[in-house]
């Protein structure tokens, strides 16, 4: 199954994406600039290039 291939062991939920979005709306992220946040449960490990 697809979930078995994801390091966290489950498919993403809408809340996973909205929680990441809310982090960037929060003052706690005020020092974070120009970042790309992958909300993928680790599925992109080994596939990203820098």
Per-residue pLDDT of 13-33, as tens digits, reads 999 999 999 999 999 999 999
How far CA 18 is from CA of 12, 15, 46, 48, 50, in Å, comes to 11, 5, 25, 22, 26
Mean pLDDT of the chain: 91
C-beta of residue 3 within 8 angstroms of C-beta of residue 9? yes
How does 2-13 read in b/e, with b if 16+ C-beta sit within 10 Å?
A: eeeebeeeeeee
Closest of 10, 2, 4 to residue 41, by C-alpha: 10
- CA distance linking residue 13 with residue 34, whole number of Å: 25
pLDDT in the model for residue 45: 86
Please tell me whether the overall predicted TM-score, pTM, comes out greater than 0.75 for this model: no
């Amino acid at each position: 199954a697809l979930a078995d291939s994801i390091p966290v062991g489950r498919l993403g939920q809408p809340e996973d994406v909205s929680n990441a979005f809310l982090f960037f709306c929060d003052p706690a992220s005020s020092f974070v600039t120009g970042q790309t946040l992958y909300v993928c449960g680790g599925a992109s490990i080994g596939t990203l290039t820098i």
